[in-house]
């Protein structure tokens, strides 16, 4: 159905695509794999008409095509779900879904018809609770992902490109996404699927193409039968052991964080737990279980009733939710879930983005110690393998996964007592993931308390010492990670059965 040959795309100083080939058959799920910065998003942006290639050809249904703009690509029958969601926050769900549609082109949308159609697509996606009239800016990241998907489906495309669609989704929603993908492929629609989660590739993929440094290194491998080790070494050029660092077995130190009877009407209620120095506590639960909101409340960014203390002293302003300045000054750091919107200064350099949260630490006699700032930022970029290795580059020009690493680097930089990590490995490739796990474990060994939220249950179990299982805003289980297994946790978060 689709044949891309010799695609080249040059950005200033970076050859993002250096002669990439891709062929996709009707009705298949074709997975595109590669490390952060390999060129995956750039390739699909060429297909989506967002980038013009410098060289190469694209054939679709036997015809040579050249998508010249996103609208043009849609007309050709390509729909794209981008890695960075490109929704308009100020518009409603229905308006976002039908933005760019043919019948909306004259600046005129038949509102009633659009709402009805939106209701229909959202229902098909298994999300009837998302109202077409709701303002997109007020939705959770997961709900935004659903809206973006609804928009792609609404075009009745022949080829749907999904750039890390599962990154913002929890376990049950991924199952739902896969159900939809199967429905689409059964109708002959082709899906190009990008993900860093290899177990997903096994489950939903038919064939795999691997990119490395802007080149195709493997074409059309079987998604089910190719050994994981082979895929990983094609991606990284080395053997990566995808394991969690061992726990030290030391007993944790003093209590850094105490949360007592934390409540916020309709979001979470009666949540109590503590985090000790040197301890990693994981929160497992579905999207909407209150995980991220609990982190925000602890951070002082969300009103709550109850009590939060950092190293024995109460923090936050409870009901006003304006305690962030205080919690940061006293050594708390939050790496939020929706990094692009909440955490990045897109036009600033990688260094500026890394050192943002810690600036006071680099100020001496009122001057910012630029040299030290730069040295530290370099050290962390190297450690996390942020590419390209150029700390002066605007962060906007980095690939999604590399932006992600930079935000994390910010919080790993010096002087914190407690780190709140919301989906720290989202969008990070397998190689860098292992580094990141080791780094988080290392920080804990050095006496920092870590509160971790992740949709990936194996990650919570592998990294945390203690796990809290959340369901509908309440803690339904608390226990040692070593005594839990994935099935039991999944059973609890999905069915509410506390074993
Ligand atoms: N607008 C841009 N200007 C300059 N360089 C860019 C731009 N967009 C991407 N790049 C560079 O092109 C390369 C490929 O980036 P791309 O976003 O395609 O990677 P990716 O495979 O999607 O990675 P990830 O898994 O992190 O999303 C990277 O080196 C990136 O820094
Ligand atoms: Mg990408």
- Could you report the per-residue pLDDT of 44-88, keeping only the tens digit for each? 999 999 999 999 999 999 999 999 998 899 889 999 988 777 788
- Residue ID of nearest Cα to ligand 1 atom 5: 397
Of 100-104, 303-307, 430-434, least confident by mean pLDDT is: 100-104
Which of 236, 266, 283 terminates a domain? The answer is 236
190 and 159 within one domain: yes
215-256 pLDDT, tens digit per residue, is 999 999 999 999 888 888 898 877 666 578 887 767 888 999
Q: Taking CA 131 as the corner, what is the angle to CA 127 and CA 134, rounded to the nearest 5 degrees?
A: 130
Phi-psi region of 176 (alpha: psi -120 to 50; beta: other; left: phi over 0): alpha
185 and 114 within one domain: yes
Residue 466, phi then psi, degrees to nearest 5: -125, 145
239/365 Cα distance (integer angstroms): 47
Residue 318 has pLDDT above 60, yes or no: no
**How much of the chain, in percent, has pLDDT values that exceed 90?**
37
CA 401 to ligand 2 centroid distance, Å = 7
Q: For residue 100, what pLDDT is reported?
A: 65
What CATH number did the domain enclosing 318 receive?
A: 3.40.50.300
186 and 113 within one domain: yes
Quick check: CB of 14 below 6 Å from ligand 1?
yes
269 and 218 within one domain: no
Q: What is the dihedral of CA 369, 396, 149, 158, to 10 degrees?
A: -160
Q: Relative to the alpha carbon of 430, which ligand is closest?
A: 1
Would 242 be classed as within a structural domain? no
Ligand 1 atom nearest to CA at 211: 21
Q: For residue 102, what pLDDT is reported?
A: 54
Q: Which domain holds residue 442?
A: 255-495
Quick check: CB of 34 below 6 Å from ligand 1?
yes
Mutate-to-test residue for ligand 1 from 8, 39, 192, highest number of ligand atoms within 8 A of CB: 39
Arithmetic mean of pLDDT, 199-206: 92
Quick check: CB of 51 below 6 Å from ligand 1?
no
Residues facing residue 10 across a β-bridge: 15
Would 81 be classed as within a structural domain? yes
Q: For residue 106, what pLDDT is reported?
A: 45
Q: For residue 499, what pLDDT is reported?
A: 53
**How much of the chain, in percent, has pLDDT values that exceed 70?**
88
211 and 264 within one domain: no
Quick check: CB of 425 below 6 Å from ligand 1?
no
Q: Check residues 282 and 247 and name the one with the higher pLDDT.
A: 282
Task: Say if residue 13 is exposed, middle or buried (CB neighbours under 10 Å; 0-12, 13-18, 19+).
Answer: exposed
Quick check: CB of 398 below 6 Å from ligand 1?
yes
296 and 168 within one domain: no
Quick check: CB of 67 below 6 Å from ligand 1?
no
166/145 Cα distance (integer angstroms): 9
Mutate-to-test residue for ligand 1 from 11, 36, 193, 426, highest number of ligand atoms within 8 A of CB: 11
Residue 213 has pLDDT above 80, yes or no: yes
Would 490 be classed as within a structural domain? yes
Helix (H, G, I), strand (E, B) or coil at 9: strand
Quick check: CB of 397 below 6 Å from ligand 1?
yes
Q: Relative to the alpha carbon of 83, which ligand is closest?
A: 2
Would 24 be classed as within a structural domain? yes
435/419 Cα distance (integer angstroms): 17
Residue 333 has pLDDT above 90, yes or no: no
Quick check: CB of 309 below 6 Å from ligand 1?
no
Would 339 be classed as within a structural domain? yes
CA 480 to ligand 2 centroid distance, Å = 35
Residue 261, phi then psi, degrees to nearest 5: 50, 45
In the structure encoding, which two tokens stand for residue 242, read together?
Answer: 């995808």
170-191 pLDDT, tens digit per residue, is 667 788 889 989 999 999 999 9
195 and 285 within one domain: no
Q: For residue 59, what pLDDT is reported?
A: 97
Compute the mean pLDDT over every residue in the chain, rounded to the nearest whole number: 85
166 and 278 within one domain: no
Would 249 be classed as within a structural domain? no
Q: For residue 319, what pLDDT is reported?
A: 43
Per the CB < 8 A criterion, the answer to whether 240 and 44 are in contact is no
226 and 159 within one domain: yes
pTM above 0.85, yes or no: no
Domain count, the chain: 2
Would 36 be classed as within a structural domain? yes
CA 404 to ligand 1 centroid distance, Å = 12
Would 23 be classed as within a structural domain? yes
Ligand 1 atom nearest to CA at 42: 18
Q: How large is the greatest C-alpha to C-alpha distance in the chain, in angstroms?
A: 69
CA 131 to ligand 2 centroid distance, Å = 29
382-438 pLDDT, tens digit per residue, is 877 888 888 888 988 888 888 878 877 877 776 678 999 988 888 888 878 888 888
Cβ neighbours of residue 336 closer than 8 Å, sequence gap 6 or more: 292, 296, 342, 343, 422
Cβ neighbour number for residue 238 with a 10 Å cutoff: 8
CA 425 to ligand 1 centroid distance, Å = 18
Arithmetic mean of pLDDT, 283-300: 86
Q: Relative to the alpha carbon of 213, which ligand is closest?
A: 1
Quick check: CB of 431 below 6 Å from ligand 1?
no
Residue 493 has pLDDT above 60, yes or no: yes
* Structure confidence at residue 141 as a pLDDT band (50, 70, 90): confident
Q: Check residues 443 and 243 and name the one with the higher pLDDT.
A: 443
Which of 236, 271, 298 terminates a domain? The answer is 236
Quick check: CB of 38 below 6 Å from ligand 1?
yes
Q: For residue 105, what pLDDT is reported?
A: 47
CA 48 to ligand 2 centroid distance, Å = 14
CA 113 to ligand 2 centroid distance, Å = 34
- Residue ID of nearest Cα to ligand 1 atom 25: 36
267 and 230 within one domain: no
Quick check: CB of 469 below 6 Å from ligand 1?
no
Of 107-116, 134-143, 202-211, 263-272, least confident by mean pLDDT is: 107-116
349 and 435 within one domain: yes
Which of 183, 209, 236 terminates a domain? The answer is 236
CA 428 to ligand 2 centroid distance, Å = 10
Q: For residue 338, what pLDDT is reported?
A: 65
214 and 338 within one domain: no
* Structure confidence at residue 140 as a pLDDT band (50, 70, 90): confident
């Amino acid at each position: 159905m689709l044949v891309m040959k010799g695609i080249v795309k040059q950005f200033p100083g970076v050859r993002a695509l250096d002669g990439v080939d891709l062929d996709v058959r009707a009705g298949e799920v074709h997975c595109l794999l590669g490390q952060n910065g390999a060129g995956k998003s750039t390739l699909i942006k060429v297909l989506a008409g967002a980038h013009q290639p410098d060289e190469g050809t694209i054939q679709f249904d036997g015809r040579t095509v050249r998508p010249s703009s996103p609208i043009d690509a849609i007309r050709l029958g390509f729909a794209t779900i981008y890695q960075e969601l490109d929704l308009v926050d100020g518009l409603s769900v229905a308006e976002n879904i039908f933005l760019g549609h043919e019948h909306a082109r004259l600046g005129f949308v038949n509102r009633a018809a659009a709402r009805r159609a939106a209701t229909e697509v959202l229902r098909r996606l298994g999300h009837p609770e998302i109202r077409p009239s709701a303002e997109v800016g007020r939705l959770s990241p997961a709900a935004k992902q659903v809206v973006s998907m609804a928009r792609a489906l609404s075009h009745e495309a022949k080829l749907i490109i999904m750039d890390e669609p599962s990154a913002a989704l929890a376990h049950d929603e991924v199952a739902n996404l896969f159900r939809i993908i199967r429905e689409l492929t059964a109708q002959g629609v082709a899906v190009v699927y990008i993900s860093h989660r290899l177990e997903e590739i096994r489950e939903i993929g038919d064939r795999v193409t691997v990119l490395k440094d802007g080149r195709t290194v493997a074409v059309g491998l079987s998604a089910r039968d190719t050994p994981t080790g082979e895929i990983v070494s094609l991606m990284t050029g080395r053997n990566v052991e995808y394991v969690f660092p061992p726990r030290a077995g030391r007993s944790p130190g003093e209590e850094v964080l105490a949360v007592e009877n934390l409540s916020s009407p309709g979001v979470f209620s009666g949540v109590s737990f503590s985090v000790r120095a040197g301890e990693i506590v994981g929160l497992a639960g579905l999207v909407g279980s209150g995980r991220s909101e609990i982190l925000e409340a602890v951070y002082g960014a969300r009103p709550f009733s109850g009590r939060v203390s950092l190293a024995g002293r109460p923090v936050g302003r409870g009901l006003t939710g304006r305690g962030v300045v205080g919690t940061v000054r006293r050594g708390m750091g939050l790496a939020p879930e929706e990094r692009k919107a909440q955490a990045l200064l897109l036009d600033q350099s990688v260094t500026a983005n890394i050192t943002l949260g810690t600036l006071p630490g680099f100020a001496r006699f009122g001057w910012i110690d630029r040299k030290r700032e730069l040295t530290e930022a370099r050290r962390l970029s190297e450690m996390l393998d942020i590419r390209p290795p150029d700390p002066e580059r605007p962060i906007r020009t980095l690939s999604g996964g590399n932006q992600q690493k930079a935000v994390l680097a910010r919080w790993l930089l010096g002087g914190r007592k407690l780190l709140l990590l919301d989906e720290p490995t989202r969008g990070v490739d397998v190689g860098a993931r292992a580094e990141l796990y080791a780094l988080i474990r290392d920080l804990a060994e050095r006496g920092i308390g870590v509160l971790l939220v992740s949709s990936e249950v194996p990650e919570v179990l592998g990294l945390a010492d203690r796990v809290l299982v959340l369901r509908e805003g309440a803690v339904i289980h608390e226990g040692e990670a070593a005594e839990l297994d994935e099935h039991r946790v999944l059973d609890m978060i999905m069915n509410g059965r506390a074993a």
